[in-house]
Structure 1
Amino acid sequence: MKFILIRLSNIGLRGTTLVSKFFLIFLLARYLEPSELGLYGLLTVTISYVLFLLGLDFYVYANREVLKADVAVRGRLLKSEAALWGGLYTAILPLTLFLFVFELLPWKLLPWFLCLLVLEHITQELNRLLVILSRQLVASWILFFRAGAWCLVVIALMGAEPEYRTLETVMTAWVLGAFVALGIGFVVIVRSGIGGWKLPIDWAWVRKGIRIALPMLVATLALRAFYTVDRYWFEELVGLDVLGAYVLFIGMCNALLSFMDAGVFTFFNPALISANANQDAKVFREKFRQMLIQTVGLVIGFSLVAWYVVDPLLRWLDRPLYLEYQYLFGWLLLGNALFVMSMVPHYGLYARGHDKPLVISHLVGLVVFVATTALITPHTSDLAVPFGLISGFGFILFWKTLQFYRLTPPNWR
């Protein structure tokens, strides 16, 4: 009963976060110019992409190690990971200035970009750590303040006062929400009883983690490139105004992945890892089956609802541009569904320690995306990127499913 209550509370918090982000996108589409919404989309995906460079995907190694370590020494591992972050900040943050030097982003966004980059990285790592330590409810609170509560504030302000209908309002609220999330995370970690903070930094552990994490980082960067390159490429093909419509539609589609993370993957990933560590094939098989069934059901349900509500929502926005490009939504919805489905074999392979197939699938999938988009561009510039996403994600789903079937013993799948 306690588990059920915690899970319902977790889903409630993450559901509220999801709904908040969903309505924020629509509110921005209503009150901001399409070009401003497009710029907001470029900023958010660029921050999301650079986050992986700042973290080096080290959590892939570190969180599994922290979960296995005794509570009395976990602090040393976390302290060592923080030392790695410090070095990465020093090396990478100055390089991000080239985004502005080459005018990929306007200079007026630089202070917001740097501040949000650091805050988002730390709170993201805290969230991941708490999830792997089975503190999902606290992690959901952090996520709520980091990505949901401030959205509600912006919605209220923009709805009440026209003077707040600016991109600066969004940035200010985002920073404040991230600060609150950061404070909650630090308090929980300090009070968690973790020991070993005074032990010296384990640089050998860090080096080993880097060697393990780097291949996964390459895979993650390739995967995230789908949702970063697509925006810049789409803007280049059809312009910043139409990019606003693309950002709106892809934001609606990505709500599915956010909900799946909150209600399905967050719970099943630690369970699959533990079952594999305990060599419990029965539990692994049962959890994987449950994850598959829930994923298929939610993907179908979400897609049907989204398909039927998009038209009235776009008419409420009262901006002809979005209705004109509504046909993009169906293709983006299909691509996103393929990506979400690919996460089922992904988590199965990850829990079993088969990282190489994940790396290969993301790298080759990115090549498929780029090649498809480039080939289609001369024929239809507005659909080239969506078709590229469908091709790339379709390949990733096929490859991960094949490799999971090949590498997993029959009694485990």
Structure 2
Amino acid sequence: MLPGNFIQLANVAIRGLTLVSKFLLIFFLARFLEPAELGLYGLLAATVGYSMYLLGFDFYTYSTRELLKCKRDQWGGVLKAQGALTMTLYFVFLPILGLLFVFDLLPMKVFTWFFVLLVLEHLNQEIGRLLVTVSEQLYASLVLFLRSGIWAVLVTGLMLVEPEMRNLNAVFSAWTLGGLLALGVGVLRIRRLKLSGWRARVDWCWIGKGLKVALALLVATLAVRGVFTLDRYWFQELAGLDSLGAYVLFMGISMALMSFLDAGIFAFIYPGLISAYQKQDALSFRRGISKLLLQTVCVSGGFAVIALLAIGPLLVWLDKPLYSQEQGLFIWILLSTILYALGMIPHYGLYAQGRDRPIIHSHIASLIIFILATWSFAHFWPRIAVPLGLCVSFFCVLCWKSWSFSRLTPAHYRLFHS
């Protein structure tokens, strides 16, 4: 048995390496691929990420709680039922997703890659969540590193030494290899847990109950993630696939902020908020919110300053004139990401109190606002309409969640109260 401190340190180190790998990958892809290829990579990656919700239906939000309620010898039955639902969703949605190619939203040359990567990403995501649930955090981080980090390092190294590898097929091949390795490690670890209960019949009534619970959160998730998928398709329509490459690059840089906040701040603070609220410890809750506010604002501000200073030299190093021509996009994309990050402060304040309704409503509204705003801006400033739409959408969400937090939070739990 490894000591707990070592496991925690190794867990943080592996997740840190994953973040760094993903962060650097986008730079090297921008360096070695043509802008149109980078644009297509971003389009496929965003579509895979969004389609995963259709294959999983966010059912884990229900099954995880149910799993922890059961005795260990019943876990196999719960997982078997979730597996049956997954197979049903595959049967329903995989053919429907083929319409992406029928309507030429994605080119046929990535048809096979799309479905292979989609299935691998979804299975690895569910296995990672299961490993976290059964307190196998180190293996969950290892699975994450294999599916999101190691292949990025591998393909970057190959591109550096072998110019013939500088193409999308090499990228997707490395991604697939990483996914297969992650799947193998995850399955082997779960088998070693020797879970029982697999002979139990699939309880479709239990599945139906779970779907009702997960559906509301799924709709909200699909809406807010829809913004981060529709934006790429809309930008391609307005500016072309080459310019989409610049958009993907700038969005990749900006969203690194969210990755750092998620891993370094949100993941450590929000469990304490939940615990403080459940214990009716108003002082600890206020301190947690204050810490969340201060750290998010400071990290976001520092990231913005560094990014704005570094973007010029970075674009010179990439040696792609198109990216320098589109540099004006970066400011708006960075602003939209900061607004999104600030919106997570009242988000976690509401979540800790179990106030899901304003979160769900604001996420649904975010997609509607984004569509209306972008459509309006497209008539006047088509090349920056999408990032402007993101800014308006996330500003409205920030205001909505902040107002809801102020209105619904008991006075003695707020930072500012009479």
Range into which the TM-score falls when normalised by the shorter chain: over 0.9
The answer to whether structure 1 residue 126 and structure 2 residue 127 are counterparts is: yes
CA distance in 2, matches of 1:217, 1:257: 21
- Classify 1:249/1:7 alpha carbon distance in 2 versus 1 (closer, same or farther; 3 Å): farther
Cα shift at 1:391: 0.7
Cα shift at 1:184: 2.1
Cα shift at 1:25: 1.1
Which residue of structure 2 lines up, in the alignment, with residue 212 of structure 1? 213
The answer to whether structure 1 residue 330 and structure 2 residue 331 are counterparts is: yes
Which residue of structure 2 lines up, in the alignment, with residue 11 of structure 1? 12
Cα shift at 1:257: 1.5
Cα shift at 1:29: 1.1
AA aligned to 2:191 is: V
Which residue of structure 2 lines up, in the alignment, with residue 366 of structure 1? 367
Correspondences of 1:102-251 after superposition (within 5 Å): 102-192=103-193, 194-251=195-252
CA distance in 2, matches of 1:54, 1:312: 41
CA distance in 2, matches of 1:181, 1:46: 21
AA aligned to 1:317 is: L
CA distance in 1, matches of 2:282, 2:182: 37
Greater Cα shift, 61-70 or 361-370: 61-70
* Conserved 8 A contact 1:11-1:263: no
CA distance in 2, matches of 1:279, 1:62: 28
CA distance in 1, matches of 2:286, 2:147: 34
CA distance in 2, matches of 1:242, 1:362: 28
Which residue of structure 2 lines up, in the alignment, with residue 347 of structure 1? 348
Greater Cα shift, 22-31 or 233-242: 22-31
Cα shift at 1:142: 1.4
AA aligned to 2:311 is: V
SS in 2 for 1:381: coil
Cα shift at 1:377: 1.0
SS in 1 for 2:354: coil
Q: Deviations over 1:213-255 (max 9, x none)?
A: 1111111111011111111111111111111100100011111
- Classify 1:202/1:298 alpha carbon distance in 2 versus 1 (closer, same or farther; 3 Å): farther
Which residue of structure 2 lines up, in the alignment, with residue 101 of structure 1? 102
Tell me the C-alpha RMSD between the 2 structures.
2.3
- Classify 1:82/1:20 alpha carbon distance in 2 versus 1 (closer, same or farther; 3 Å): same
Cα shift at 1:134: 4.7
Greater Cα shift, 51-60 or 195-204: 195-204
AA aligned to 2:261 is: M
- Classify 1:67/1:349 alpha carbon distance in 2 versus 1 (closer, same or farther; 3 Å): farther
Which residue of structure 2 lines up, in the alignment, with residue 85 of structure 1? 86
Cα shift at 1:276: 5.5
Cα shift at 1:172: 0.5
Unaligned residue ranges in structure 2 (runs of 5+): none
* Conserved 8 A contact 2:227-2:366: no
AA aligned to 1:190 is: R
AA aligned to 1:163 is: E
SS in 2 for 1:61: helix
TM-score (norm 1): 0.92
AA aligned to 2:238 is: L
Q: Deviations over 1:62-97 (max 9, x none)?
A: 223334444343333222222111100000001111
Which residue of structure 1 lines up, in the alignment, with residue 387 of structure 2? 386
Greater Cα shift, 40-49 or 300-309: 300-309
AA aligned to 2:388 is: F
Cα shift at 1:3: 6.6
CA distance in 2, matches of 1:332, 1:383: 9
* Conserved 8 A contact 2:346-2:402: yes
Which residue of structure 2 lines up, in the alignment, with residue 304 of structure 1? 305
Q: Deviations over 1:340-389 (max 9, x none)?
A: 22223323333433222121101111111111111111111111111100
TM-score (norm 2): 0.91
Q: Deviations over 1:95-122 (max 9, x none)?
A: 1111001111111111111111111011
Cα shift at 1:395: 1.1
AA aligned to 2:390 is: L
Cα shift at 1:336: 0.7
* Conserved 8 A contact 1:223-1:362: yes
* Conserved 8 A contact 1:56-1:214: yes
CA distance in 2, matches of 1:177, 1:143: 10
AA aligned to 1:214 is: L
Cα shift at 1:315: 0.5
* Conserved 8 A contact 1:14-1:259: no
The answer to whether structure 1 residue 321 and structure 2 residue 322 are counterparts is: yes
SS in 2 for 1:334: helix
CA distance in 2, matches of 1:124, 1:155: 24
SS in 2 for 1:116: helix
Residues matched between the structures, number: 412
AA aligned to 1:177 is: G
- Classify 1:108/1:227 alpha carbon distance in 2 versus 1 (closer, same or farther; 3 Å): same
- Classify 1:49/1:192 alpha carbon distance in 2 versus 1 (closer, same or farther; 3 Å): same
- Classify 1:303/1:191 alpha carbon distance in 2 versus 1 (closer, same or farther; 3 Å): farther
Q: Deviations over 1:32-90 (max 9, x none)?
A: 11111111111000111111111111122222333444434333322222211110000
* Conserved 8 A contact 1:226-1:366: yes
Q: What's the % identity of the aligned pairs?
A: 51
CA distance in 1, matches of 2:390, 2:17: 28
